[in-house]
Chain A
Amino acid sequence: MCLSLPVQIVKINKKMAVVKKSNRNKTIDISLINKLKIKDWVLCANNFAIRKIRPKEAKEILRLLKGGKRHESRT
Chain B
Amino acid sequence: MNQGLKIAIKYSIVPCQLGYCGPTDEPEKKILLEFLRGEKIDEQKIRQILQQFAGTNLYYNFIARSNGITDPFDKKVVEAYWTGNELLDKLNGAGHHSFHVYKIGSITGRIQFTDNLRDLCRIGWGCVKKIKAEKIIIEHQPIIRNKNNKLELGEETGKIVGWDKIILPRLEIGNIVSIHWDKAIEVLEEQQMANLKKFTLMNIK
Chain A interface residues toward B at CB < 8 A:
1-6, 43, 45-46, 51, 53-54, 57-58, 60-61, 64-65, 67-73, 75
Contacts of B156 in A (CB 8 A): 73
- Tell me whether A46 and B100 are in contact in the complex, defined as CB-CB below 8 angstroms, given that A2-B15, A3-B121, A64-B182 are known contacts: no
Q: Complex Cα distance A58/B161, Å?
A: 19
From B20, B157, B161, contact of A4 by CB (8 A) = B20
Contacts of A54 in B (CB 8 A): 19
Chain B residue at minimum C-beta to C-beta distance from A45: B111
Whether B111 pairs with A3 at a CB distance below 8 angstroms is: yes
B169 close to chain A: CB less than 8 A: no
Whether B110 pairs with A2 at a CB distance below 8 angstroms is: no
Chain B, residues 151-192, CB within 8 Å of chain A (1/0): the string is 000001111110000000000000000000110000000000
Contacts of A60 in B (CB 8 A): 18
Contacts of A68 in B (CB 8 A): 116, 119-120, 142, 159-161, 182
Whether B19 pairs with A75 at a CB distance below 8 angstroms is: no
Whether B116 pairs with A67 at a CB distance below 8 angstroms is: yes
B139 close to chain A: CB less than 8 A: yes
Chain B interface residues toward A at CB < 8 A:
15, 17-21, 55-56, 100-101, 104-105, 108, 110-111, 113-114, 116-121, 129, 137, 139, 142, 156-161, 181-182
Whether B159 pairs with A71 at a CB distance below 8 angstroms is: yes
Q: Complex Cα distance A53/B116, Å?
A: 21
Q: Complex Cα distance A53/B23, Å?
A: 11
- The distance from the CB of B108 to the nearest CB of chain A, in whole angstroms, is 8
From A5, A6, A73, contact of B139 by CB (8 A) = A73
Count of inter-chain pairs, beta carbons less than 8 A: 83
From A2, A43, A71, contact of B181 by CB (8 A) = A2
Question: Can you report 20 residue pairs joining A to B where beta carbons are below 8 Å apart?
Answer: A1-B121, A2-B20, A2-B21, A2-B117, A2-B120, A3-B100, A3-B101, A4-B20, A57-B17, A61-B19, A65-B120, A68-B120, A69-B159, A69-B160, A70-B158, A70-B160, A71-B158, A71-B159, A72-B158, A75-B139
Additional pairs, 9, CB under 8 Å, beyond known A1-B100, A60-B18, A75-B139:
A2-B21, A3-B101, A3-B113, A6-B19, A51-B20, A65-B116, A65-B117, A71-B159, A73-B129
From A1, A43, A61, A72, contact of B55 by CB (8 A) = A1
Contacts of A4 in B (CB 8 A): 20
The 7 closest A-B pairs by CB, nearest first: A53-B19, A71-B158, A57-B19, A73-B158, A2-B121, A69-B160, A1-B55
